[in-house]
Amino acid sequence: MSAPDDFDWSSEGRGTDLVRSIERLLAELSDKRQDAMRAELDLLATLSDKVGLVAAEQVCSGENIDIEGLHGIQDILLFLAIEHPNLINRIEVQASMSRRHGGQNWSTFQFENDGKPWMLESEVARADFLAETLSVLELPKHRKHVADWYETVRTHAITGEETTFTHATIYVEERAESELGFGASDTLERQVVAKVLEVGIACDPKSRLVEICARGGKKMRDQFSAVFSRNFVPHSRPPLEVPRRDVRLHLLKSPPDFEIFPSDGIARVEVSSLDFGDGSGGIARFEKRGEGETIYGFLDRRFGTASPLRGGGWTILSATFRIILAAEEGKRQRALTVTLRLPNTTTSPNTTESDRQFIFALLERWGLLALPAEDVDVLETGN
């Protein structure tokens, strides 16, 4: 559909004049063309919310597309639909993944911080990853498929820090479904409608995190994680799943009383670093140095009432703990390190699955993790 040169795109008030003008344009089209255009406009309408806006900003930042001068999500989506129509699918997928985040179809995996390189740019690795992913799905070989690789830029809601994520969305032709519809003779006919299955991968080599969004349950996502590990991080140990739980860092405004039982086998627990934000983009980090003083004692001694623990306007953004385990007979003492970041990130590199479960049990006991959110399943079905 094309608008005449003198078409008035301005919108006053609630935009009813613009809506009527677009309706008149649509009325000039054939019935089938009208249906197609309205379907496209309906898609844009489903993306016209806060989640869609964030998705559009992330995708456009990854593609270096400037949308700063545009007014609101509707303006952005219309601009992209005209100038960059291929990005609408990516925004739809990105918004869908955001809505599923933390639900039944989402898993996050943490690789150890061993400094070993990832092979995300390797075309051979990408091809093998796609082939193995299709094998996990156990679909017939004749099904059509395609992988869309792209980057997004996420901005942390509190710190403003930008992180570049590499994405792969794998589209696979799923088994077609039979539906009723009106045929050419205006009578009801049984029609075959093709369906599309999606598997979404997002990863950040810097933090060594991989997010997987796919139907099929935890075992299926574990298989996708193993496929990712074999092809892109072959020299590192397989990653561990990291549940997304809101962290309660405000409890660390005063020295915490870590409850420890003899059966835990813990010699001591210490807060080794605290990151603070002042709400305007300013960030301050303090790390514990030396054995004779805690980080709380240092901040009180050095800053007194001006300490960010006491003064107003400061928020704890992240905290790192060292859980020093009691030495076993014939072995050296070892420490488990865990970092909590607002709003819901818990990382503990170089740990085993049993260590991870032990750490999460301690964090729950100390009240630093909120209760798990109820699983939400909001899968969309592509046509």
Please list the residues that pair with 277 across neighbouring strands: 283, 315
Query: Is there a contact between 337 and 325 (Cβ–Cβ < 8 Å)?
Result: no
pLDDT digit string, tens, across residues 52-77: 999 999 999 999 999 888 878 888 99
Low-confidence ranges of the chain (pLDDT < 50): 13-15, 375-383
* Joined tokens for residue 197: 């299955």
Query: What is the pLDDT, as a whole number, of residue 189?
Result: 81
Helix (H) or strand (E) holding 356: helix 353-365
Contacts 24+ apart (CB under 8 A), 145-149: 145/170, 145/171, 145/172, 145/173, 146/170, 146/171, 147/171, 148/89, 148/90
At 96 the pLDDT is 83
Q: What pLDDT is recorded for position 12?
A: 52
Give the pLDDT confidence score for residue 368 in this predicted structure.
95
Element (H, E) at 136: helix 123-137
At residue 184, the 3 state secondary structure works out as coil
Query: Residue 183: is it exposed, middle or buried by C-beta count within 10 angstroms (0-12/13-18/19+)?
Result: exposed
CA–CA separation, 274 vs 336, rounded Å?
17
> Domain boundaries in the chain?
16-99, 102-241, 249-365
The per-residue pLDDT for 74 is 85
Q: 176 with 201: CB under 8 angstroms?
A: no
Report the alpha-carbon distance of residue 350 to residue 383 in Å, rounded: 42
With b meaning 16 or more CB within 10 Å and e meaning fewer, what string describes 328-364?
eeeeeeeebbbbbbbebbbbbeebeeebbebbbebbe
DSSP H or E stretch at residue 41:
helix 31-46
DSSP string, 137-169: HT--TTS-EEEEEEEEEEE-TTT--EEEEEEEE
Whether residue 199 contacts residue 129, with contact meaning beta carbons closer than 8 Å, is answered with no
Report which residue type is found at 284: A
CA distance 372 to 245: 6
Amino acid in position 193: V
pTM of the model: 0.70
Beta strands, E only, 52-158: 106-110, 145-155
Phi/psi at 35 (5° precision): -60, -40
* Structural tokens at position 327: 């030495």
User: Which residue matches tokens 């029609």?
Assistant: 191
Residues 186, 39: Cα–Cα separation, whole Å: 20
Contacts of 201 (CB under 8 A, 6+ apart): 167, 168, 169, 170, 210, 211, 212, 213, 224, 228
> Inter-axis angle of helices 16-27 and 31-46, to 10 degrees?
150
